[in-house]
Structure 1
Amino acid sequence: MLESSVPKCEKTPRTRARRWLCVMILFLFGIFYILEPRVSWSSDFWTPHSWSSQSHNNTTSSDNSISPDYPSLPSLSSPPSPYFVAYPHRYRFILNEPHRCWLENPFLVLMIPVAPHNREARDAIRNTWGKETAVLGRVVSHYFLLGLSKEEDGTETLKEQVLQESRTHHDILQSDFLDSYNNLTIKTMLMFEWLSSHCPNTAYAMKVDSDMFLNVHNLVNMLLKAPQHLYMTGLVVRGAAVLRDHTSKWFLPVSAFPERIYPPYALGLGYVFSMDLPKKILEASAHVKAVYIEDVYVGLCMRHLGIALTDPPRGALFRASIPHWTNSCYWTSVITTILQNSRQLSDVWRVYQSMNTSVCAQ
């Protein structure tokens, strides 16, 4: 064998370079696999990419109100962040009215989130604006949206009280999540789920808080002239700064939401939307991580969809509080006003009904 010949087993510079290249590729791949984040940033917020597919204990739904392809709840082995809520998730309705909206075919559905123990608020609404079921020739329905509570009242449990109330009034939708302020986003998203599944012929819906005066006549009158698609209005907030004060009720840290300004959103005290939006907002929720501030979260979903909110035809229709000075026609001129309690709603309703609407309309 000549001195210059190279045996097959000997390493040449070219083969060594190839082997080093393979080793480096495998090394970098291993580092990327280990350090790859489970959640990545999107332009709108956080997008869950790899939530666990393992079901939680209560992930079975008894009706068709939850899409079967929704991601399941992330692993709860570590304490959840106080700034996010467990959504999307397969919650189920334990008290439901699955056929009522189909049968009534309402023009407008009023969805009222309320705590399970707040029977006083539900009765006040049933005796005031909640009893307006036919307005300007259109059918209007209302439902109360509840979660679960651990509270009990005397010897009769709250669960039994709510069940009896449901059997009497047929206007309660209760789901199996803990009813709390920080879970309002869950309650709101379940509202969209239920509407999307149960009210196929409804034109509009409104989320309205239980401590609100609602002029249903003015609301229906506005909607008769409103857009029928991709429409949401209310008291629209634009350019709101993200609160970084730790003592604020609506505090969000930079780690939870890095932007300084929120996108436009409608205040949660009462906003109206066309019924093509619930399904779209639910689709967006698979891409936008759910913060606990529910009206901000709906605004984030709307931004993800590229759908702009609509200002009401008059700025004073949706009010956050009663002005210091009001005239005798105030209650006939607004759609919503926040009140102090249920007793005040009953008093205001008597005043509203005593007003001469023909004179106030002039």
Structure 2
Amino acid sequence: MAPCLCRCRCKLLLCICSPCILLTCLFIYVVLAVCFSMAPSISPIGASRPLPLYFAATGASKAGFLASYPLNDFWKNYLDNRAMWNWLQHIMDRLHNPILHSNTAGRNNVLSLGDLFPVLGKLKCKQDHSMTKFMSDFQAMPRQIQDFVSSMHCRDYPLLIDQPRVCARRPDLREAAPMLLLAIKTQVHDFQNRQAIRKTWGRSGYVKGLVGKGGIVRRVFLLGNREQDEHLYIDGLLEMESQRYGDIIQWDFQDTFFNLTLKDVLFWQWFSMRCPHARFVFKGDDDVFVRTPALLDFLQSEEVKAKVSNSSGSAVKLEDFIIGDVIISAVPVRKNSTKYYIPQTFYEGLYPPYAGGGGVVYSGSLALRLLQVSKRVHLFPIDDVYLGMCLHRLGVSPIHHPAFLTFDFPKKEKKGPCANHTILLVHKRSPAEMYDLWNEMKSPSLECRNATLRVQGTGKEKSTQVTAERLPHADSIL
């Protein structure tokens, strides 16, 4: 009986202890497995195992057991100052870099050229040659380059003629703010162009779309001042024109080709005060033709797309919307006999993507942002390129659309009978041609009534290198 009782006790003890022993072994195994997995693995030669390629950026250190780190600086402390504009803008970009200057991130502090160079900040809007020392060949430059460099510090010019009520709400119209503001660059003596625009595609008021409801359109012409040797009676004629049509905006600066950039900057400032609620802005030249009803339909379709893409269904401001004939990887013209000439001592490198200046459309909210960013982008002689520089610093990419023909119809393209009904804009057209096109648009043939917008061009717009055909007067661009 005693031996049997002893065997039973042994079996009972074994049954009770075995699970405890197994659980203890399992616990020890788990602890050791976790510890080994967390410990750094050592290769046979005692060095750290190299990181996978997708963890190590190009130019990173891979030596020893330390984490990879960049071998070179992210931003250059110094820039070769052979090109004056690049050097000045390099300083400005560094001052507004939110990583290098995190204590100013999120603020609206915008430093201007006068902040960087106090001497220039005290100058009035007249020529000063203190900056010309940065261009070794300044004296050999064409007169237009010399004049621009000597006055590029100034962008505060007084208004001579203003239109404070052009975007004001009117009792007879249903909308409080314009859907589209036409801002057209012109010169004092180009009255025929302005008159043709007023009577054709640039009519102010309610404009019906081809298929949509349309919207309110407003019009302003942007002018500088005349040459000093012109007759004074022109001032009186321009004042009479302003009183008659209420669409003239004039600033007191010399209206030259290289000062077209001033019209952009000063217009953005005027827009922020006089017409900030306009939904879209068309900025173009006075020798283009625009199918305004078709453009309104197109813009309304873009607004619908933006609303659909917004999950809440509320209105979207299209803050990054800008569309036109986009040119990419354009090179500066180095032939000093052309008006587009930019010397290498002034600017080096390719131009950022930009829309051809014959005509471009952007949202009103983007116009307000362009005003702010322009305060930290130094003026550039070519207005189209300057807009691209501002967009680049906003992180905005312009949208290319083949219906914007800022260089006219391609020469090699066969023009069909309804070709004019497939565009949104075409450049260049005389006043007589504007009237003819307008009459054609008002009474389209049966064949052309259902014509759709161009959806593809000849393929040049997709090129990564601009050619002489894409750059006006660039028969010798290098």
After superposition, the C-alpha distances for 1:144-184 in whole angstroms (9 at most, x for unaligned) are: 11111037887x71000000000000011111111111211
Q: What is the correspondence of 1:236-247 to structure 2 with a 5 Å cutoff?
A: 236-247=326-337
Bigger Rg, structure 1 or 2: 2
Q: Which runs of 5+ in 2 are unaligned?
A: 1-83, 95-111, 133-144, 171-176, 307-317, 452-478
In structure 2, relative to structure 1, the CA distance for the partners of 1:333 and 1:44 (3 Å cut) is farther
1:300 and 2:396 matched: no
- Match in the other structure for 1:118: 190
Q: Secondary structure at the match of 1:291?
A: coil
Per the normalisation by structure 2, the TM-score is 0.59
- Aligned partners of 1:304, 1:334: CA distance in 2, in Å? 30
After superposition, the C-alpha distances for 1:71-115 in whole angstroms (9 at most, x for unaligned) are: xx5872557844545355221211111122132521100001100
Check conservation: 1:88, 1:286, Cα contact below 8 A. no
Report 1 or 2 for greater relative contact order, CA contacts < 8 Å, sequence distance ≥ 6: 1
- Match in the other structure for 1:321: 408
1:42 and 2:90 matched: yes
Q: What is the correspondence of 1:102-181 to structure 2 with a 5 Å cutoff?
A: 102-103=168-169, 105-131=177-203, 133=205, 134-135=207-208, 136-150=213-227, 157-181=233-257
After superposition, the C-alpha distances for 1:31-71 in whole angstroms (9 at most, x for unaligned) are: xxxxxx99745188798311433252xxxxxxxxxxxxxxx
Q: What is the correspondence of 1:180-219 to structure 2 with a 5 Å cutoff?
A: 180-219=256-295
1:225 and 2:301 matched: yes
| 1:222 partner letter | F
Identity rate, percent: 25
- Aligned partners of 1:242, 1:44: CA distance in 2, in Å? 22
1:265 and 2:354 matched: yes
- Aligned partners of 2:166, 2:403: CA distance in 1, in Å? 34
Q: Secondary structure at the match of 1:272?
A: strand
In structure 2, relative to structure 1, the CA distance for the partners of 1:355 and 1:153 (3 Å cut) is farther
Check conservation: 2:421, 2:448, Cα contact below 8 A. no
**1:221 deviation in Å?**
1.3
- Match in the other structure for 1:253: 343
In structure 2, relative to structure 1, the CA distance for the partners of 1:214 and 1:41 (3 Å cut) is closer
- Aligned partners of 2:129, 2:235: CA distance in 1, in Å? 29
1:86 and 2:138 matched: no
In structure 2, relative to structure 1, the CA distance for the partners of 1:152 and 1:121 (3 Å cut) is farther
**1:231 deviation in Å?**
1.2
After superposition, the C-alpha distances for 1:112-162 in whole angstroms (9 at most, x for unaligned) are: 1100111111111111111263233310111111111037887x7100000
**1:217 deviation in Å?**
1.2
- Aligned partners of 1:339, 1:222: CA distance in 2, in Å? 22
| 1:144 partner letter | F
Length, aligned pairs only: 306
In structure 2, relative to structure 1, the CA distance for the partners of 1:316 and 1:107 (3 Å cut) is closer
Per the normalisation by structure 1, the TM-score is 0.76
In structure 2, relative to structure 1, the CA distance for the partners of 1:83 and 1:255 (3 Å cut) is farther
Check conservation: 2:291, 2:425, Cα contact below 8 A. yes
In structure 2, relative to structure 1, the CA distance for the partners of 1:44 and 1:123 (3 Å cut) is same
- Aligned partners of 2:427, 2:148: CA distance in 1, in Å? 26
**1:251 deviation in Å?**
1.6
Q: Select the structure that is richer in strand.
A: 1
Check conservation: 2:186, 2:286, Cα contact below 8 A. yes
Q: Select the structure that is richer in helix.
A: 2
